[in-house]
Amino acid sequence: MENQDHSQHPFEPTRDELPLRSNYHFELDRRKFFKIAGGGLIVAFVLKDLVSFADNDSLAESPSIAAGDVDAWIHIGKDGMVSVYTGKVEVGKNIRTSLSQIVSEELMVSLSSIKMIMGDTDLVPYDAGTFGSRTTPQMGTQLRKAAATARQALIEIAAKKWNSQATGLNTENGAVVNTVTKEKIGYGELANGQKLMMTISDTVPVIGAKDWKVAGRSIPKIDQRNFISGKHIYVSDMKLPGMLYGKVLRAPSYGSKLIDADLAVAKNIPGVVVVKDGDFIGVAAPDIKTATKALQSINAKWEEKKEHPSNSTIFGYLLKNPAGETSGRNSGTTNGDVERGLTEADFKHAVTYNIHYIAHVPLEPRAAVAEWVDGKLTAWTGTQRPFGVQEELAEVFRMDKKNIRVIMPDTGSGYGGKHSGETAIEAARLAKEAKKPVKVVWTREEEFTWAYFRPGGVIEVNAGVKKDGTLTAWKFINYNSGGAALDTLYKVGNKQVAHVRSNSPLRQGSYRGLAAPANVFARECHMDDLARLIKMDPLEFRIKNLEDDRLITVLRSAAQNFGWNVSKTKDHGHGIACGFDKGGYVGTCAEIKVNGDKEIKIVRITQAFECGAIINPHHLENQVMGSIVQGLGGALFEAIEFANGKILNSSLSAYRVPRFSDIPKIVIVLIDRKDLPSAGAGEAAIIGIAPAIRNAIMDATGKALNELPMLPNGSLA
């Protein structure tokens, strides 16, 4: 389909996995903040320290803040409620909980008096999106400072009120306390009648991790009761008065052109609205059965594209269809002379690793409800990028963003797969015609076919090593899979590392860890093979060539907790791998068993993980667990099958994802570095699992499985 979808949905996630923030700098009227939040105290985080809090002893409002500079803001109302406004969204990683913990800690208020307002483009400041493991290190840090600033401001207000020095005042449980007189005044009372707005100073003191009381604890998921009793309203659950159910006509294969469509029958069904606009044909009806019937009645003629690669020809296709080397971030590096390094080696080893396309399979498929009122569009949709969807809608409907509101209720997961706004566009187009709200929920088949995939790719690795374990050459070329975690973490004088883009026949985009699971797979398999060539223990070989102490620590920790040096049972194999991505360090060990019929069983996994100071131990462990389990799928059996421009396994009975019976014994070791800033944890923990299993299979059988997934049929036979 050659970029067809990219033009429809202009954001292509991997091209700018971390898009630059918008460049708008219109003046932000402080009245807007107070209009949203009501009177009280507001601390807005800004990138630049426009008005230093320290210099602003009168607590006067800042003259103006450029809207593009605000990242998040905190409001304290006269009822003492603390409202936190952020463009981040809850995809299931429980950031609603961890960000609340951070604010609670710094502001010294109970969790129950904190409300997180997330991902509503009318209420929260611009945010590029919730991806790239950036919420904790960036938004977390900003909110920490904003909360600390608000706390300082409340002390100042209390000092004025009491005519005392701020130094003698402290805060506890939502109140300022005079440590001498024991007088106490609640935040709400202090904020009452104020219309105070300030920016934060970068130098505001924050509480160190070792003194945390609320952060650092396993606080349960906020609103958990609603989720486990079916009361949380996901977008697919929404129902607005008069709402219609929408369906969209899909092409028979990628790249098809609509020639003609007979809409007459559909149009005659009572209550049905039919829209044809360019290649888009959709219907909306008072119930889903009628909508489906109307869609099926449409007789459409398509001109199908003739030549398509399939998953059996894809790797050659990707190599033969380059789209140029990447530039900038993740583009690779060249040091020394790889050819010379190879001649200096005692052993050389060249392998091509193949990576199949896989699907995210968020259990809640894409869904949106759209409504037009007086020319203003509101779209509720499950997306990791509400502001990105707002931009897509503005472009498609050629309208001003200020007339578009995108709201993201906590969604049924994403894993990097919900960056785009297809359903919002479709629902909005139908709603515009129907003059009624319209809901579009993709079927599983639509989600498998018309969303985007984790890119397939080919990774060529050629390396040289001396008998003593010194690496002499490292050549690592990634075709199409992506540039994340591309570079080696091992010492080597001569290296060439590059990512070459291909013209992908399938629409591709972000995925948990982006290309890191693929690149770490290739690197860690290759390192294991090199260790085997020189008959050195794979753990020892890695440590000899690593420089990063944090990586060495997780690797050692995984090995120790796993029992790396313990002797193995017959037909069992042990494998090890390590890696770093987006602030997270991971070491993974795996034990596998080969049964008589060459069936491979994963016996157990031990994974050590470190991402700085831990904010919520249970939720962190749960993220690491989720990464391991999702990683098992991509490692062992997940692959998109396609041919003739069609997805051949577009259902959950055909595309296998990990289930209960696939889960081995899993031990997770979390290393809490209270001396280091917290990093995100939703992605890096996925990178170690595939190579650890591959190396364990190699250990037991001598068979190198260099393609992901490794065991689509569960067996080596």
Partner 1 sequence: MVLNVNGAMHEVTVDPDVALLTVLRDYLNLTGSKYGCGEGACGACTVLINGNPTRSCITSAGTATNKEIITIEGLEKNRKLPPVQEAFLSTDAFQCSYCAPGMIMTVVALLKKNPAPNDDAIVKAMNGNICRCGTYPYILKAIQLAAKP
> Which residues of the shown chain bind partner 1 in the complex (CB under 8 A)?
91-94, 218, 220-221, 224-225, 227-234, 236-237, 239, 245, 287-289, 361-365, 410-413, 415, 441, 443-445, 618-619, 622-623, 625-630, 651-653, 657-661, 663, 666
Contact 271, 286 (CB under 8 A): yes
- Least separation, in Å, of the C-beta of 230 and partner 1? 2
- Least separation, in Å, of the C-beta of 287 and partner 1? 6
State which amino acid sits at residue 518.
A
Query: What sign results for the dihedral spanned by CA atoms 422, 427, 428, 430?
Result: positive
Peptide bond into 709 cis (omega under 30): yes
Find, among 225, 18, 51, the residue nearest to 129 by Cα: 18
- Least separation, in Å, of the C-beta of 510 and partner 1? 16
Q: Whose Cβ is closer to partner 1: residue 6's or residue 217's? A: 217
Q: Whose Cβ is closer to partner 1: residue 551's or residue 632's? A: 632
Q: Whose Cβ is closer to partner 1: residue 230's or residue 324's? A: 230
| DSSP code per residue over 166-213 | GGGEEEETTEEEETTT--EEEHHHHHTT-EEEEE--TT-----GGG-S
Q: Whose Cβ is closer to partner 1: residue 236's or residue 472's? A: 236
Q: Whose Cβ is closer to partner 1: residue 625's or residue 704's? A: 625
- Least separation, in Å, of the C-beta of 212 and partner 1? 19
Backbone angles phi, psi at 556, to 5 degrees: -65, -40
- Least separation, in Å, of the C-beta of 417 and partner 1? 10
Q: Whose Cβ is closer to partner 1: residue 93's or residue 574's? A: 93
Q: Whose Cβ is closer to partner 1: residue 98's or residue 496's? A: 98
Find, among 175, 244, 195, the residue nearest to 33 by Cα: 195
Q: In whole angstroms, what is the distance from residue 260 CA to residue 467 CA?
A: 68
Distances (CA, A) of 409 to 92, 214, 406: 11, 26, 10
Contact 66, 135 (CB under 8 A): no
Q: Whose Cβ is closer to partner 1: residue 126's or residue 234's? A: 234
Q: Whose Cβ is closer to partner 1: residue 173's or residue 226's? A: 226
- Least separation, in Å, of the C-beta of 607 and partner 1? 12
- Least separation, in Å, of the C-beta of 617 and partner 1? 11
Q: In whole angstroms, what is the distance from residue 256 CA to residue 4 CA?
A: 10
Q: Whose Cβ is closer to partner 1: residue 93's or residue 495's? A: 93
- Least separation, in Å, of the C-beta of 613 and partner 1? 20
Where are the strands (E) in 568-629, listed by range? 572-581, 584-594, 600-610
Residue 274: strand pairing partners:
283
- Least separation, in Å, of the C-beta of 288 and partner 1? 6
CA angle at residue 432 from 427 to 436, to 5 degrees? 80
In terms of Cβ atoms closer than 10 Å to its own Cβ (0-12, 13-18, 19+), residue 596 is exposed
Where are the strands (E) in 39-160, listed by range? 40-46, 65-66, 70-76, 82-86, 114-118
Rounded to an integer, what is the distance from CA 182 to the centroid of its chain? 47
- Least separation, in Å, of the C-beta of 656 and partner 1? 10
Q: Whose Cβ is closer to partner 1: residue 227's or residue 280's? A: 227
Task: Give per-residue burial for 61-90: e unless 16+ CB within 10 Å, then b.
Answer: bbeebebbbbbbbbbbbbebbbbbbbbbbb
Report residue 91 as tokens. 């995809």
Find, among 428, 332, 299, the residue nearest to 371 by Cα: 428
Contact 709, 356 (CB under 8 A): yes
Strands 438-441 and 273-277: unpaired
The residue with tokens 């107070």 is 34
- Least separation, in Å, of the C-beta of 82 and partner 1? 23
Q: Whose Cβ is closer to partner 1: residue 376's or residue 444's? A: 444
Q: Whose Cβ is closer to partner 1: residue 139's or residue 685's? A: 685
Report residue 372 as tokens. 């037009």
Q: Whose Cβ is closer to partner 1: residue 232's or residue 348's? A: 232
Backbone angles phi, psi at 347, to 5 degrees: -130, 140
- Least separation, in Å, of the C-beta of 430 and partner 1? 17
- Least separation, in Å, of the C-beta of 225 and partner 1? 7
Find, among 312, 414, 420, the residue nearest to 640 by Cα: 312
Q: Whose Cβ is closer to partner 1: residue 27's or residue 287's? A: 287
- Least separation, in Å, of the C-beta of 652 and partner 1? 4
- Least separation, in Å, of the C-beta of 653 and partner 1? 4
> Which distant-in-sequence residues (6+ apart) come within 8 Å of 56 by Cβ?
62, 198
